[in-house]
Amino acid sequence: MKCQHCEKPATFHITELTGAEVDELHLCEEHARIYLTPADPQSESPASQTLAGALAQQLQLGQTAEDLARLDQQACPVCGITFYEFRNQGRLGCPHDYTCFEEELEPLVMNIHGATEHLGKRPRRSAAGSEQQTELIRLRREMKEAVDNEDYEKASQLRDLIKGLEEEISSQ
């Protein structure tokens, strides 16, 4: 369905009930923003001002398609997972993803858990070797890229590094 004011696709469908009249509006994001922003806040009734304000605020908070496409291309430098992969799978690739995608994840974590800091129990012994595990993930990703680029010499060097790191981890 197209916007009633232009040829863009209508992404907002607003139904207004005024008395016995039902008024349906089909607007694109730009025209919805204009429609929902009151021209004179004093002339608006408190209820419609609140509703319009809430919807206008949602428009400002919502990301445009371009922002989302740009964000989907962002990847973790350690494990290589993209934000698009995270959105589809619902799982992060490594602990560093929390810092890499911090801006996008913080509101999500806050919404789900009610806090952004861990307040529960922790393991008695620390996660020994977590940095080494992260290094393994990075090396494996680099080795896969080297093989994809047919740089077999680099891939064999990385393979040897991975074997050495795995032996070090298993001996601990």
Question: What integer pLDDT is reported at residue 44 of this predicted model?
Answer: 46
Are 74 and 106 contained in the same domain? yes
Residue 152 falls within a domain, yes or no?
A: yes
Are 17 and 49 contained in the same domain? yes
Question: What integer pLDDT is reported at residue 15 of this predicted model?
Answer: 83
Are 143 and 156 contained in the same domain? yes
Per-residue pLDDT at 48 exceeds 60? no
pLDDT digits (tens, 9 = 90+) for 52-67: 555 555 545 555 666 7
Domain that holds residue 108: 65-113
Question: What integer pLDDT is reported at residue 95 of this predicted model?
Answer: 83
Are 42 and 70 contained in the same domain? no
Are 91 and 103 contained in the same domain? yes
DSSP the chain: -B-SSSSSBP-EEEEEEETTEEEEEEE-HHHHHHHHS-S-TTTS-HHHHHHHHHHHHHHHHSPPHHHHHHHHH-B-TTT--BHHHHHHH---SSTTHHHHTHHHHHHHHHHHHS-SS--S---SS--TTHHHHHHHHHHHHHHHHHHHTT-HHHHHHHHHHHHHHHHHHHH-
pLDDT digits (tens, 9 = 90+) for 134-171: 788 889 989 999 999 999 999 999 999 999 988 887 87
Residue 109 falls within a domain, yes or no?
A: yes
Indicate yes or no: pTM above 0.85: no
Question: pLDDT grade, residue 45 (50/70/90)?
Answer: very low
Residue 1 falls within a domain, yes or no?
A: no
Per-residue pLDDT at 19 exceeds 80? no
Residue 48 falls within a domain, yes or no?
A: yes
Number of domains in the chain: 3
Are 17 and 56 contained in the same domain? yes
Question: What integer pLDDT is reported at residue 152 of this predicted model?
Answer: 93
Question: What integer pLDDT is reported at residue 125 of this predicted model?
Answer: 66
Residue 7 falls within a domain, yes or no?
A: no
